[in-house]
């Protein structure tokens, strides 16, 4: 198997990629803040441009917040979101530059030199927060939990209800232990030759 070449252990390969699946049902076992802290302590090291770390995460725990979110999800995503023990809204912070001097102490001018312009900031925050969304999905799996990432929701509605004009929701992620009949059979993937070209 070509993955024998990897330095990452087969158990870790399975946990993060090969046996991990997007869950559509969840058990009732709670997901704790301590588990979310552990995920953060790991994935905070994932690289972003200029160490901008633009991802912000809203955890929805109260019944009121959860009900509002369920109403804003596309119909096919409502039952799983209603029954997941924890759901997170993952958003890009378009004013991340305010934290940059602390995040990049060796070049505090980056805030003004590269990120004075809001449109440029939005583009950079969107891409780098998307990278961090992937780190988060893998971090949830690293915690032994299943993630259910979804982009099918009322984006302006979620933004208005849970965020503000400086934060843009990229995805909503259900989090928990898999429930009954939690996923479809694994779909095919592209072959190496369909993805990679060499020049």
- Tell whether residue 194 is a contact of a second copy (CB under 8 A): yes
Q: How far is the CB of 78 from a second copy (least distance, A)?
A: 17
Q: How far is the CB of 195 from a second copy (least distance, A)?
A: 6
- Tell whether residue 28 is a contact of a second copy (CB under 8 A): no
Q: For residues 114-153, which are near a second copy according to CB under 8 A?
A: 124, 127, 130-135, 137-138, 141-144, 147, 149, 151-152
Burial 9-38 (b: 16+ CB within 10 A, else e): eeeeeebeeeebbbbbbbbeeebeeebbee
- Tell whether residue 182 is a contact of a second copy (CB under 8 A): no
Q: How far is the CB of 6 from a second copy (least distance, A)?
A: 5
- Tell whether residue 75 is a contact of a second copy (CB under 8 A): no
- Tell whether residue 82 is a contact of a second copy (CB under 8 A): no
Angle at 86 between CA 128 and CA 35, to 5 degrees: 75
Beta carbons within 8 Å of 115's beta carbon, 6+ residues apart: 50, 52, 96, 97, 100, 121, 124
């Amino acid at each position: 198997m070509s993955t024998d070449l990897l330095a990452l252990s087969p158990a870790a390969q399975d946990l993060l990629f090969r046996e991990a699946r997007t869950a559509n049902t969840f058990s009732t076992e709670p997901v704790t803040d301590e588990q979310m802290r552990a995920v953060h302590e790991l994935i905070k090291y994932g690289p972003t441009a200029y160490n901008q770390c633009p991802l912000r995460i809203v955890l929805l725990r109260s019944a009121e917040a959860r009900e509002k979110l369920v109403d804003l999800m596309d119909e096919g995503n409502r039952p799983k979101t209603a029954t997941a023990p924890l759901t997170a809204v993952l958003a890009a912070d378009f004013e991340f530059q305010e934290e940059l001097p602390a995040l990049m102490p060796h070049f505090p001018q980056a805030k003004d030199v590269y990120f004075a312009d809001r449109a440029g900031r939005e583009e950079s925050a969107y891409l780098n927060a998307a990278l961090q969304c992937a780190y988060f999905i893998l971090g949830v799996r690293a915690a032994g939990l299943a993630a259910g990432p979804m982009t099918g929701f009322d984006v302006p509605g979620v933004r208005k209800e849970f965020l503000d004009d400086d934060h843009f929701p990229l995805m909503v992620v259900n989090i928990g232990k898999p429930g009954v009949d939690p996923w479809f059979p694994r779909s095919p993937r592209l072959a190496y030759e369909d993805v990679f070209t060499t020049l």
